[in-house]
Each structure stands twice: as C-alpha cells, then as structure tokens.
C-alpha cells in the first residue's frame, strides 16, 4: 500500500468516525416526530431536552423553550403515531421532590378529538414545589408567631383536638378489631376521611382569621401557656395527619389477584390446572404462591406425561414496564422466567411472549426416559381483556418438545387485599 492510499484510507476512516460522532452527540434520530406547542406562565425550572410522558409513558421530548411576551412557549416533539386528545392536561412533573423535571400529559377522552401537528395548547398552572413549601412555612410562622383571635379560637382548637382523638381512636379500633367484610371497613374509612376534612377546614378558618388580623393583637402570644398549647396542637395535627395517611396507605396499598391456568396437552390427551394467588404489596413488586400441574390421578392419558404432577409454584416478581421478571419455584423446581409485551401501548399490546428456565441440574430418569438437560419453555399469550387470555406453550424444548394449549383467568379479590393491608398495618404498630 503506497503513501497516497494510506492517506486516503486515513481520511475516509476519520470522516466516518467524525460523522458518527456528530450523529451520536447531536440531536438526530431516525424516529419521526410532530410538533405541539404548550403555553405556560411558569415552567418551574423545566429544562430543554427533558422527556415528555403521556400517562406515565415516554412519548417524546422537549425540543425548545422560549419566551413570548409574558408567556413561556414549550415546543414538544411527539412521536408519530402517538395520539393526544384535545382535553388532555399539560403540566410540569418531577420524578421526586428533588428529582429531575419532565413534561407530563394526562390523556383526555377520544370524544374531544385529536391534537394536530403544530397546534398550541395551554398548560396547567401549577405552583412550583419550592414556592409551595415556602408558602406553607410562611403560614405556619404566621400562625405560631403572630396569632390573633377571641374566645372562639380556644373552642376551635379544642374541636380540632377532639376530632384528632376520635380519628386516631377509630384507626386503632379498625386495626385491633378488623373484620373480613370489606364494605363495612370502607364505610368506616369514609367516616374517618370526613372527620379529617372537617378538622382541616377548621384549621384553614383559623389561619385565614390570623392572616386577616382579626382579634386582639398580641394578647394570646403574650400568654406562654396559650402559646405552648397552640404549638402542641399544631404538632399533634401534623403527626396525626401523617399517621392516618400512612395507615390508609397501608390498607389500600395491597392488591391481590386470584389466578387459574388451564393447560391441555394434545400429545397425551391430558389436561392440568394451576391455581394461585398473586400479591402486590406495592407497585411493581409481587409474590405468587399456588398449586401447579393439578390433575386427577385416576384420569387416563393416551401417552407418556413427563410433567411433575400435583406440585407447587412460589415466586417473587418485578413488573418493569413491558417486562415481568420472576424467580423461585416453577412447577416444583427452582427456576426463573420473563414475560414480555413487545407492543406495549399499541393496538397489539394484548400479546405477551414467555420464556422460562428451570431444573438446571436435571440428571435423572423419568418414566423410563433419561433427562440430562435443563427444562426450557417458551410461549405466547393473547388476552381478550384484563380477566381472560389464551395461548400456546412449547414445553421442555431441549428434551421432549411438547405443545400445550393454555387458558388463563385472573381477577382481583379486594377482600383478601384488605386482609393483607390490615395485617401489614398491625405489624407497623409494633
């Protein structure tokens, strides 16, 4: 290779690398987008290039933020194919109290029609978190440091404390004497919520009175005992509100589902059933416990069935967007699996792909046949609705390669959810 060829090759490679760097570092994409403009009075520190999420799912990005007159114009780049309805709400969201900002879209209704490319909409005017905290602190300082009022103030504070005692007493009674009747429990929770609302309304009236300057100036603040009582009442109010919120969150945080799987294996003319309960103690995390491969031992099959019959399933799982990962005991042996929705949030999102691996150290003879390889299963499910789905599974792909036809029924049992919620609340008291 002569010198000119070396120089030419060097220039060519350098150009390719330079072009690749520009593509990766620049704002380029093969995905097509259409623009939507949102008008705000304040974007609360929303940065350029932040994500745009529609109903919690990323649907685009912020292209540009500019100021026009006294308004802030945010240009969105929405992925082609994503529909946003005209009555959707646009607001600035945050991943946490100190987390990164993004633009959140709460989807509207199809009856309102679809936004077209280039249209301008108004964003929701929400108070930024730092200003909301500052406003709350100012209100508390004004109440404690410059409180004013007449004889009704003491009665109002006493009424607040009485409501607090009644609310906490009701919560304790629910925890210690909870019954498995969900309807009665929820009626009692509604009563507690009404008491809290009345208490907070009364507190708001006191704050308004102080802010207006009603009453005898400085008379109550000069009384050390009254000042101590007011400070203690505010502390009790804060602690009680947090405690009640935690208690109600524990009760309503559990979600429990009952699941029945039916499997028919044409090769041996045999059917099996799986029954179990799936418990979500919090969003994105669940536990499953059930019976697997249940069959009437008196039934006769037309071939050799190598499945382990009448055994158990016990798994821990994580819901991560389109993926459902789980591990534990699968049909009586250790293993793990994944369910994947490749077309999530599209018209084909009722399709789920399945892959499982178990019995990784299998080395034994089953019904006269030697098995030396782990068990690997794959399959596909198509859901008709949130309760019913059907599909095909290919079991033990390395060894016997059996085809199964499956049906699944799943529904939420709120009575069991409340039972777990109360049990968790009882543990919290300790």
pLDDT recorded at residue 407? 92
Please state the rounded mean pLDDT for residues 300-304.
Answer: 71
H or E segment to which residue 203 belongs: helix 182-212
277, β-bridge pairs: 258, 289
Distance (Å, rounded) from C-alpha 413 to C-alpha 277? 9
pLDDT in tens, 350-367: 899 999 999 988 888 888
pLDDT recorded at residue 327? 94
Backbone dihedral region for residue 365 (phi beyond 0: left; psi -120 to 50: alpha; all else: beta) = beta
- Which of 74, 103, 126 is at the close of a domain? 126
pLDDT recorded at residue 280? 84
Q: Answer whether residue 219 shows pLDDT above 50.
A: no
Distance (Å, rounded) from C-alpha 74 to C-alpha 46? 9
- Which of 83, 102, 126 is at the close of a domain? 126
Measured CA angle at 369 (ends 363, 371), to 5 deg: 25
- Which of 66, 101, 126 is at the close of a domain? 126
Cβ distance 93 to 50 under 8 Å?
no
Whether residue 425 is contained in a domain is answered as: no
pLDDT recorded at residue 171? 57
Does residue 80 sit in the same domain as residue 185? Answer: no
pLDDT in tens, 94-128: 776 566 788 999 988 899 999 999 999 998 876 66
pLDDT recorded at residue 427? 55
CATH number at residue 406: 2.40.128
Q: Which is it for strands 51-54 and 101-106: parallel, antiparallel or unpaired?
A: parallel
Does residue 59 sit in the same domain as residue 154? Answer: no
Q: Answer whether residue 23 shows pLDDT above 60.
A: no
Give the chain's length.
430
H or E segment to which residue 336 belongs: strand 333-340
Confidence of residue 393 (pLDDT cuts 50, 70, 90): very high
Where in the sequence is the domain holding 332, given as residue range(s)? 255-419
Query: Read out DSSP for 348-398?
Result: TTTEEEEEEEE-TT--EEETTEEE-S-EEEEEEEEESSSSEEEEEEEE-TT
pLDDT in tens, 317-336: 999 989 999 999 998 889 99
Does residue 200 sit in the same domain as residue 244? Answer: yes
Query: Read out DSSP for 97-134?
Result: TTS-EEEEEE---GGG-BPPTT-EEEPP----HHHHHH
More confident residue, 38 or 202: 38
Q: Answer whether residue 348 shows pLDDT above 70.
A: yes
Q: What percent of the chain has pLDDT over 70?
A: 58
pLDDT in tens, 33-81: 999 999 998 887 888 888 999 988 889 999 999 988 889 999 999 999 8
Q: What percent of the chain has pLDDT over 90?
A: 22
Query: Own/partner pairs for 181-187, CB < 8 Å, 24+ apart?
Result: 181/415, 182/414, 182/415, 182/418, 185/251, 185/418
Whether residue 426 is contained in a domain is answered as: no
Which token pair is 18?
């330079």
pLDDT recorded at residue 218? 42
Please state the rounded mean pLDDT for residues 222-244.
Answer: 59
Tokens 């994947």 sit on residue: 340
Does residue 227 sit in the same domain as residue 341? Answer: no
Distance (Å, rounded) from C-alpha 403 to C-alpha 268? 10
More confident residue, 124 or 218: 124
pLDDT recorded at residue 332? 85
pLDDT recorded at residue 295? 78
pLDDT recorded at residue 15? 73
Please state the rounded mean pLDDT for residues 236-263.
Answer: 70
pLDDT recorded at residue 308? 82
Whether residue 410 is contained in a domain is answered as: yes
CA dihedral 210, 211, 217, 222 (to 10 degrees): 60
Nearest to 416 by CA among 286, 255, 274, 280: 255
Which token pair is 128?
């930024």
More confident residue, 239 or 425: 239
pLDDT in tens, 161-200: 666 666 666 656 655 555 445 455 555 666 666 666 666 6
Whether residue 391 is contained in a domain is answered as: yes
Total number of domains constituting the chain: 4
Q: Answer whether residue 307 shows pLDDT above 50.
A: yes
More confident residue, 370 or 430: 370
Does residue 170 sit in the same domain as residue 307? Answer: no
Does residue 169 sit in the same domain as residue 192? Answer: yes
Does residue 259 sit in the same domain as residue 408? Answer: yes
Confidence of residue 341 (pLDDT cuts 50, 70, 90): very high
Three-state SS for 87?
coil
Which token pair is 413?
């049992």
Cβ distance 117 to 35 under 8 Å?
yes
Three-state SS for 269?
coil
Whether residue 427 is contained in a domain is answered as: no
Does residue 77 sit in the same domain as residue 139? Answer: no
Does residue 282 sit in the same domain as residue 347? Answer: yes
């Amino acid at each position: 290779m002569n010198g000119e060829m070396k120089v030419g090759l060097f220039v060519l490679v350098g150009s390719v690398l330079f072009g690749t760097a520009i593509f990766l570092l620049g704002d380029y994409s093969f995905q097509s987008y259409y623009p939507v403009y949102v008008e705000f009075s304040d974007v609360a520190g929303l940065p350029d290039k932040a994500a745009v999420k529609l109903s919690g799912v990323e649907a685009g990005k912020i292209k540009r933020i500019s100021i026009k007159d006294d308004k802030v114009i945010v240009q969105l780049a929405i992925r082609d194919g994503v529909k946003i309805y005209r009555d959707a709400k646009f607001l600035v969201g945050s991943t946490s109290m100190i987390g990164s900002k993004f633009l959140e879209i709460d989807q509207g209704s199809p009856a309102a029609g679809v936004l077209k490319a280039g249209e301008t909409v108004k964003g929701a005017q929400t108070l930024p978190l730092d200003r909301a905290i500052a406003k709350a602190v100012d209100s508390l300082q004004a109440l404690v440091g410059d409180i004013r009022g007449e004889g009704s103030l003491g009665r109002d504070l006493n009424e607040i404390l009485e409501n607090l005692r009644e609310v906490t007493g009701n919560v304790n009674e629910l925890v210690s004497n909870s019954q498995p009747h969900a309807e009665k429990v929820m009626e009692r929770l509604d009563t507690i919520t009404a008491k809290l609302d009345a208490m907070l309304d009364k507190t708001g009236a006191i704050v308004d009175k102080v802010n207006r300057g009603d009453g005898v100036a400085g008379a109550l603040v000069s009384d050390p005992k009254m000042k101590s009582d007011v400070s203690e009442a505010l502390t009790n109010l804060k602690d009680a509100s947090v405690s009640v919120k935690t208690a109600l969150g524990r009760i309503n945080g559990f979600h429990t589902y009952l699941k029945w799987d039916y499997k028919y294996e044409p090769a041996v003319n045999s059917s099996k059933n799986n029954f179990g309960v799936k418990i979500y103690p919090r969003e994105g995390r669940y536990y499953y416990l059930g019976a697997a491969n249940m069959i009437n031992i008196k039934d006769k099959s037309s071939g050799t069935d190598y499945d382990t019959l009448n055994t158990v399933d016990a798994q821990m799982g994580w819901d991560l967007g389109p993926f459902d990962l789980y591990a534990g005991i699968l049909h009586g042996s250790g293993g793990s699996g994944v369910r994947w929705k490749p077309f999530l949030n599209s018209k084909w999102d009722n399709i789920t792909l399945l892959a499982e691996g178990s019995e990784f150290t299998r080395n034994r003879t089953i019904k006269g046949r030697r098995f030396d390889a782990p068990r690997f299963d794959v399959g596909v499910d198509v859901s008709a609705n949130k309760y019913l789905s059907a599909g095909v599974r290919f079991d033990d792909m390395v060894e016997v390669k059996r085809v199964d036809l499956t049906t699944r029924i799943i529904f939420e049992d709120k009575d069991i959810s409340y039972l777990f919620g109360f049990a968790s609340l009882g543990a919290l008291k300790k």
